[in-house]
A and B are shown apart, each in its own frame.
Chain A
């Protein structure tokens, strides 16, 4: 299979580039950033490189894409050619351009959702741990109850009620995900609120918001950052799955999940084009997971798992 080998070669090339960049970073950097580069496994360097490439593509999408995102520029299902590098889709839009814009839409929406879930979930979690008492009990039991329903099923239920627009999608997934963040943030903060310096700050007369922002959050940052990566992967996969099911981001907005759905018929003819957007999703989640794995390893201080 010629296509599979070229994909493998591309991945190997990325790994080689990551290795070169890491070696470069090791020789140029000094001090603490050098020790981070020395400690970094090749998989994490690969992950960082892939994330950087995705970010660059998302930012520079209009400059990189040969055709506009939503315009019909050819006949339907054209084959790969020099004009349309990856062919055209069901109604004649250029697939390469839509893949490039998809980096902006799909990743952007997933990122916004994760960020929203994090702000809401971690503030509530830290607040519950700090205040304790009935507030903590009410919030925790409520979250426990919500978490006893599988996330995808609960999202589908909420989407039925509120309709399936992009805004409701973001809000619904963020709400469902915030419950998971709440649990972690609360668990982490519970170990911190019993410390003497929190007691001291309370006696100084600081308010709850100051305590959360200046005393608890800096000390809870490491596990929360790792969790952010994991949550991002999860949210990203959920949104892609929903788009694939036709319930998430909808055409004409270019989105990887719905692109797979739209062009899936081509697969039965042995054409790999519909797999490309799915591959983009998979590559990014693998990359983020590699980086998170390394961060967790560093945070736990283990040399051997």
Chain B
């Protein structure tokens, strides 16, 4: 069961890489034409094609690109000629750090809020949490980010720009990255909270919960011991989906806070039309997205015996 799911995941990754590579084939003209512009002489075009290996047929180029990417060699940037792996190196770590930081804040908060909202269903707290969640979902990330800057950075509590170098200590990092992480947290918490609430409320209507209630158990115990274990599968799914959402969320937030991460690199590369860098970063983001979905599937299978031993 799980092995099959893994095989499917690997297959999907392969297809994703095909799409990302194939998209460049849609370029009007070719890559060399794109870089040099309309005024290029045929000789320089031919020389650049030779240098970029554009004369090989597409399957060969795809193979070279993919096998390079798997060993960490993404080729060179088209705009400044530096190796892409060098550009990505430290930034990948920064982005992962930011996403994990946001997740560490968002997951516990949204689980607690969701469980409380389910427990006190239709109370003032529940209504306020729901309205707040709906509002937070509707806000653009940069709006949330700038409101936080206005409130928390203006008073000098937290820095509005993130300046990280390898010498920064872990504590300083946590402090300096607080605002970007908080922005991402606010953006994803709403959705996770609503889904947690819905999953638990769904279960609260089932007969075995009625039984537990008739036995005279306390509401908190019913939710934590009887409802929550069965609600785990949908909750895990939502958490993974939102972590995957963080991947795209970081792009905007990194730009707002001038955070040296992959998102910023990608945005710069798009405005320079540096297709080699965009492809590399897109592959990393899409790979992480597919992997997170895969992990979610596997985890929810493991937590549910009915799925684990399906005939």
B12: interface (CB < 8 Å): yes
Taken residue by residue from 1 to 26, chain B's Cβ proximity to chain A (1 for < 8 Å, 0 otherwise) reads as 00000000000100110011001101
CA–CA, A146 to B19, complex, Å? 8
B143: interface (CB < 8 Å): yes
Other-chain contact of B279, A152, A157, A267, A275 (Cβ < 8 Å):
A157
What are the residues of chain A within 8 A of B23 when measuring CB–CB?
Answer: 157-158, 161
- Number of A-B residue pairs having CB atoms within 8 Å of each other in the complex: 137
A285: interface (CB < 8 Å): yes
What are the residues of chain B within 8 A of A268 when measuring CB–CB?
Answer: 149, 153, 160
Interface residues of B in 274-290 (CB under 8 A from A): 274-275, 278-279, 282, 285-286, 289-290
Q: Is the CB of B19 within 8 A of A145?
A: yes
A260: interface (CB < 8 Å): yes
Interface residues of B in 40-99 (CB under 8 A from A): none
Given contacts A159-B270, A161-B27, contact A286 B279 (CB under 8 A): no
Q: Is the CB of B244 within 8 A of A150?
A: yes
A11 to chain B, nearest CB (A): 11
Q: Is the CB of A275 within 8 A of B146?
A: yes
Q: How many of chain B's residues have a CB under 8 angstroms from any CB in A?
A: 53
Q: Is the CB of A245 within 8 A of B286?
A: no
CA–CA, A192 to B116, complex, Å? 39
What band does the interface of chain A fall in when counting residues whose beta carbon is under 8 Å from B?
Answer: 35 or more
B134: interface (CB < 8 Å): yes
What are the residues of chain A within 8 A of B142 when measuring CB–CB?
Answer: 241, 244, 260, 278
Taken residue by residue from 26 to 66, chain A's Cβ proximity to chain B (1 for < 8 Å, 0 otherwise) reads as 00000000000000000100000000000000000000000
Q: Using CB atoms and an 8 Å cutoff, list the residues of chain A in contact with chain B.
A: 43, 145-146, 148-154, 156-164, 233, 237, 240-241, 244-247, 257, 260, 264, 267-268, 270, 272, 274-275, 278-279, 281-282, 285-286, 288-290, 293, 304-305
A/B interface sample: 18 pairs, CB < 8 A: A145-B15, A145-B16, A148-B12, A149-B289, A150-B244, A153-B285, A153-B289, A154-B282, A154-B286, A156-B270, A157-B279, A160-B269, A247-B270, A260-B143, A275-B146, A286-B139, A290-B134, A305-B198
CB-based closest 10 A-B pairs: A285-B138, A278-B143, A152-B248, A286-B138, A149-B286, A160-B278, A282-B139, A153-B285, A150-B248, A145-B15
